[in-house]
């Protein structure tokens, strides 16, 4: 569906997107994840034909965006970082204008606008000037704009920025919903969001894709269940002694626990080693009761920081 090959974009001397290639299948929900200025928006702007790439090409359904921009643009609904809204129009008028721009035939226009307004939940405010709407509603009008004409591909740049938690959940559900009949690309620098919505995550930093996988695989593959958190009812010094006696542990960190008389320990073993049994027996042998033991799942947040900061060190 979407095929990007060796895409590079330079702004003067700054390389915003550096030789990235990827493919997106029909019906996937893809998340672009990266810190601010990583090149997410630039990539999206190239895919939507707003700016041109310096090198490489982007094919949408096999059509090059540079060669037949009008055809490709019809297939894409785009919600940029700042929703492009005409403040002096009402939401409904604005959507009419968008229909004009997208060449939606007159007879189906009214139904199309009603369908989209219902789906994003802006029917109540459709007669109000966009200028006077709250940020959440503006975002939704922006989303409605992208949905007009049922484009098979939706590209959403930070769709939940500036929304309150309730609205964020609403938009997430909507995106999940859209994923059923659209290919969705969304970007975010908030990891939990990508984790909640996307089937595949591409982590972008400094214009390069540094990882691409499902959120689950990213957390498991890369880091496994080799990290444990335990809470022990014993003295700190004694616990440290026990921990040291366990082979395979590379790293550990002991802290005063939250419970009185308990110590909490975070430990890390070599990759692909399961230390749970060894930990249990060691503490049992030392007669130090384990109050709690759980694996530390590395959140996307940590993976992200890890990957991106590793990049910085290079």
Q: Is 64 left (phi over 0), alpha (psi -120 to 50) or beta?
A: beta
Q: How far is the CB of 155 from another protein (least distance, A)?
A: 9
Q: 104 phi and psi, to 5 degrees?
A: -75, 125
List the structure tokens of 26: 């029909």
Q: How far is the CB of 210 from another protein (least distance, A)?
A: 27
List the structure tokens of 169: 């959940």
Q: Which is nearer to another protein, 70 or 237 (CB)?
A: 70
Q: Which residue do the tokens 């049922």 mark?
A: 150
Q: Which is nearer to another protein, 149 or 215 (CB)?
A: 149
Q: Which residue do the tokens 């026990």 mark?
A: 242
Q: How far is the CB of 102 from another protein (least distance, A)?
A: 6
List the structure tokens of 179: 């994923």
Q: How far is the CB of 51 from another protein (least distance, A)?
A: 5
Q: Which is nearer to another protein, 73 or 140 (CB)?
A: 73
List the 63-64 sheet strands across, edge first: 14-24, 2-11, 55-60, 63-64
Looking at the DSSP assignment, which residues form a beta bridge with residue 292? 231
Quote the CA–CA distance of 238 and 11 in Å, as a whole number: 59
Give me the sign of the Cα torsion angle 192, 195, 196, 201: positive
Q: Which is nearer to another protein, 48 or 219 (CB)?
A: 48
Q: Which is nearer to another protein, 86 or 280 (CB)?
A: 86
Q: Which is nearer to another protein, 62 or 166 (CB)?
A: 62
Q: Which is nearer to another protein, 87 or 162 (CB)?
A: 87
Contact residues toward another protein (CB under 8 A) are 11-12, 45, 48-52, 69-71, 73-74, 76, 78, 80, 82, 84-89, 93, 97-98, 100-103, 145
Q: Which residue do the tokens 């409904």 mark?
A: 92
Q: How far is the CB of 87 from another protein (least distance, A)?
A: 7
> Measuring CA to CA, which residue among 54, 43, 141 is closest to residue 91?
141
Q: How far is the CB of 307 from another protein (least distance, A)?
A: 30
Q: How far is the CB of 49 from another protein (least distance, A)?
A: 6
Q: 233 phi and psi, to 5 degrees?
A: -90, 85
């Amino acid at each position: 569906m979407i095929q990007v090959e060796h895409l590079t974009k330079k702004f003067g001397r700054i390389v915003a997107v550096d030789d990235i290639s990827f493919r997106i299948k029909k019906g996937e929900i893809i998340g672009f994840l990266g810190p601010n200025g990583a090149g997410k928006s630039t990539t999206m702007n190239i895919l939507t034909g707003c700016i041109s790439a310096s090198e490489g090409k982007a094919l949408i359904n096999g059509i090059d965006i540079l060669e037949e921009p009008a055809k490709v643009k019809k297939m894409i609904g785009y919600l940029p970082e700042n929703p492009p809204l005409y403040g002096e129009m009402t939401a409904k008028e604005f959507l009419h204008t968008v229909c004009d721009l997208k060449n939606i035939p007159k007879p189906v226009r009214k139904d199309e606008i009603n369908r989209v307004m219902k789906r994003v939940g802006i029917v109540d405010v459709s007669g109000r000037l966009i200028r006077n709407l709250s940020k959440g509603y503006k975002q939704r009008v922006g989303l409605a704009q992208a949905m007009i004409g049922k484009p098979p591909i939706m590209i959403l740049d930070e769709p939940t920025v500036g929304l309150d938690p309730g609205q964020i959940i609403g938009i997430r559900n909507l995106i999940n919903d859209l994923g059923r009949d659209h290919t969705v690309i969304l970007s975010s620098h908030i990891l939990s969001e990508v984790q909640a919505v996307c089937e595949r995550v591409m982590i972008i930093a400094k214009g390069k894709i540094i990882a691409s996988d499902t959120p689950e695989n990213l957390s498991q593959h890369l880091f496994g269940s080799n990290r444990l958190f335990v809470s022990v009812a014993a003295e700190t010094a004694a616990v440290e002694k026990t921990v040291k006696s366990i082979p395979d542990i590379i790293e550990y960190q002991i802290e005063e626990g939250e419970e009185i008389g308990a110590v909490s320990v975070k430990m890390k073993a070599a990759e692909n080693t399961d230390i749970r049994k060894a930990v249990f027996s060691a503490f049992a042998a030392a007669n130090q009761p384990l109050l709690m033991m759980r694996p530390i799942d590395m959140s996307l947040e940590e993976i992200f920081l890890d990957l991106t900061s590793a990049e910085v060190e290079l």
